[in-house]
Structure 1
Amino acid sequence: MSASSADVPDPVEVVLVKAGRTKIRYRAELLHDDGTRIAVRAPWAGDGVRDFGFVRFEPGDVLTEYYWRDRWYAVKEVRDGQGALKGWYCDVTRPATLSDGELVVEDLDLDLWRSADGRTVVRLDEDEFAASGLAVSDPQASRAAARALDDLELLAREGGFETLLA
């Protein structure tokens, strides 16, 4: 399914699951689904401002989010309320599923940020990932998640998000 510019994008519920519990749920517009990659757009769904030090997410920000059914990550393009690119926030996840209007993604703790100018690339939450116990409970998923973070960092450092998301 793909929404064209003449179509009204279909709404979906994005459901981010972590450790078996729903972490956040929010409504988004389904922009594209080619059977492998899913693209949605939504306003910042957090409460108030979230300041990471290297970027602030705040009301008015808009995220265009890309999920894959065959990859262990999601890439979110972050723009401010005026449309200026802030950068890309990436989540390491199990492959996404979309069914009955719900896009479900399991967060595996690892994240990566790349600023719009490419000067800042930060690996995040590696301590949380290590503490999650995934290496023991699901070693195959743990290895896939670690590879996904390495792949994302390589893309970020080589400026590859634009090509990946085209």
Structure 2
Amino acid sequence: MAAVEAPANVPKTSSEGYEKKCIFCRIVNKEMGTELIHCDEDISCFQDIKPGAPHHYLVVPTKHVGNCKSLGKEHVPLVKQMVATGKEILQKKNITDLTDIRLGFHWPPFCSVTHLHLHVLAPASQMSFMSRLFYRLNSYWFITADQLIELLNSKEESN
């Protein structure tokens, strides 16, 4: 029997980095009507639906990657690329003070979506009281991008 090719508008399979039940995979694949601020082969970005600061973006791998706990040392370049993309987007949005930003990840089980996503918030000085708690530095539920990179660099390579 000959193989039948799927139409172009059919979503990718999970083997290609797409999880059909993942809201972020659906956003990246333009199934949700969410505006993508940035989208390339590796990284995508869109606004958070519950902003914790005047500028609050989510930077995600374009292909499905699990949460922070599922990462290994080999993911350090991806996390660094996510950070660089987040900073570029802020600069395009005329955020020039990159010392007044917060970049980080919610630590499982405190993340509502298991698709890896970097929170990019600016200016951090304008975050509400609740947002300061939710994205609190040195908490057990939120880890900065630098802390995650340090943690991943301390791990052994996955085989």
Give the alignment's TM-score, normalised by structure 2. Answer: 0.32
More helix as a share of residues: 2
Higher relative contact order (CA 8 A, sep 6+): 2
Rg larger in structure: 2
- TM-score, normalised to structure 1, is 0.31
Q: Which has the larger share of strand?
A: 1
